[in-house]
């Protein structure tokens, strides 16, 4: 019989994933395991034997990296470049840059710790064949030079790009560059990242339709940092590929139902997963028929959910999964109908997000779920990727 030290790598990886998950009942999302906890477990297991040490070094020790200081980034890249090529390689799949400075830092002690585009490029080159997710949070504003854009474009396996800064339209004057289209760098970046599948934005940028766009299937956009024409432009440009749309933020003062209606009209035949707040669900959007909508996630819900179940959107869309906050699911709705799910012909799963261990939804909801054979699932997170597979 094989001993534990002779386990196949695939089985050992499953054991490791179980150890870092933290909970045995699978209420937690896989992403809930913090990088520091993962590193601690991996470091301890590396002491067992050389085989485990090499495998964990290559696959888990540097899997998630976050840098906010230039010195840490430089020390790591210098160490890895000097490491023997005959030893296992460090692999980073998720790289986060906090406080990217788009100008060259001065010799001031504080500025010397800024992560510049030059250091970002160095990190990217170190892990160019392993990075899957790249998160960039700028120090002040987000403008990328041509060399940085080309470096990002050379990340062979990049699938998920998250730009979490606000672009300042006066960036050119600070950088000493001639005035240019503030969206130019962003569209150049989109043209360079042809393998991109997921894009998360909290930035004042617009996407232009063109033949060189990547086939993005998942768009996550913060409505607080977007103009109405921005969302419409993304919907038009990504109409043929977009399957998952997340709209965050409650600042909808600059939006009305007509603005979002125009965007959703371009996606009503292809969208499969929609994540938003109830405030975005206003007429005439509720009159749209989403022919392929399977999952609906609601961040907040200030009105009885059953008020909307008779609308065209709920009645004619093949919705199978509805996810809502556990705190909202505990409310006893005063006008709860006898059969709230009568129009939801495909409804299979009600997900209660961010639920504590002792959580239980209102009895009226439980009774309605039981009557229709709808499964109630309680999660201690609101991770959309985990909800989508329900």
User: How do residues 263-304 score in pLDDT, each as one tens digit?
Assistant: 899 999 999 999 987 666 666 788 899 999 999 998 766 666
Which of the listed residues 23, 44, 62 is the one where a domain comes to its end?
62
* 316 band by pLDDT with thresholds 50, 70 and 90: very high
Residue 119 domain-assigned? no
Domain containing residue 58 = 33-62
Question: Rounded to two decimals, what is the model's pTM?
Answer: 0.85
Answer whether 196's CB lies under 8 Å from 216's CB.
yes
Closest CA to 269 of 247, 241, 229: 241
Which of the listed residues 44, 62, 80 is the one where a domain comes to its end?
62
Residue 304 domain-assigned? yes
Determine how many CB atoms are found less than 10 A away from the CB of residue 333. 16
Which of the listed residues 62, 82, 102 is the one where a domain comes to its end?
62
Say yes or no to pLDDT of 25 above 60. no
DSSP state of 301: -
Q: What is the mean pLDDT of the chain?
A: 81
Residue 46 domain-assigned? yes
Q: What is the pLDDT of residues 210-239, one digit of tens each?
A: 768 899 999 998 877 777 778 888 999 999
Q: Per the structure block, which two tokens stand in for 342?
A: 């009568």
Residue 194 domain-assigned? no
Say yes or no to pLDDT of 24 above 50. no
Residue 267 domain-assigned? no
Residue 310 domain-assigned? yes
Beta carbons within 8 Å of 367's beta carbon, 6+ residues apart: none
Residue 111 domain-assigned? no
Answer whether 239's CB lies under 8 Å from 222's CB.
no
Domain count along the chain: 2
């Amino acid at each position: 019989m094989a001993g534990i030290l002779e386990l196949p790598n695939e089985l050992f990886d499953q054991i490791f994933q179980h150890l870092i998950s933290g909970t045995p009942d699978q209420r937690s999302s896989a992403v809930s395991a913090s990088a520091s906890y993962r590193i601690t477990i991996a470091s301890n297991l590396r002491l067992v034997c050389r085989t485990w040490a090499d495998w964990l070094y290559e696959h888990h020790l540097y899997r998630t990296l976050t840098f906010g200081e230039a010195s840490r980034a430089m020390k790591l890249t210098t160490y890895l470049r000097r490491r023997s090529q005959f030893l296992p390689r460090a692999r980073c799949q998720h790289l986060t840059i906090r406080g990217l400075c788009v100008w060259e830092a001065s010799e001031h002690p504080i500025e010397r710790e800024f992560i510049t585009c030059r250091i970002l490029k160095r990190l990217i080159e170190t892990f160019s064949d392993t990075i899957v997710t790249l998160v960039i949070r700028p120090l002040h504003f987000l403008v990328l030079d041509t060399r940085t854009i080309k470096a990002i474009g050379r990340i062979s396996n990049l699938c998920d790009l998250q730009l979490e800064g606000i672009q300042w339209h006066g960036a050119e004057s600070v950088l000493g560059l001639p005035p240019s289209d503030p969206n130019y760098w962003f569209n150049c970046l989109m043209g360079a990242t042809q393998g991109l599948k997921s894009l998360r934005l909290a930035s004042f940028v617009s996407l232009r339709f063109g033949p060189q766009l990547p086939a993005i299937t998942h768009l996550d956009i913060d409505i607080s940092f977007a103009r109405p024409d921005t969302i419409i432009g993304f919907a038009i440009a990504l109409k043929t590929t977009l399957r998952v749309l997340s709209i965050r933020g409650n600042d909808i003062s600059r939006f009305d139902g007509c603005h979002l209606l125009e965007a959703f009209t371009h996606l009503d035949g292809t969208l499969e997963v929609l994540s938003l707040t109830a405030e975005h669900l206003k007429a005439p959007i509720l009159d749209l028929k989403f022919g392929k909508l399977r999952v609906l996630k609601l961040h907040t819900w200030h009105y009885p959910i059953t008020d909307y179940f008779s609308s065209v959107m709920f009645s004619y869309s093949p919705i199978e999964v509805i996810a809502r906050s556990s705190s909202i699911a505990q409310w006893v709705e005063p006008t709860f109908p006898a059969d709230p799910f009568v129009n939801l012909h495909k409804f299979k799963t009600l997900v209660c997000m961010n639920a504590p261990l002792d959580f239980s939804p209102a009895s009226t909801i439980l009774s309605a779920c039981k009557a229709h054979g709808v499964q109630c699932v309680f999660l201690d997170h609101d991770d959309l990727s985990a909800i989508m597979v329900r």
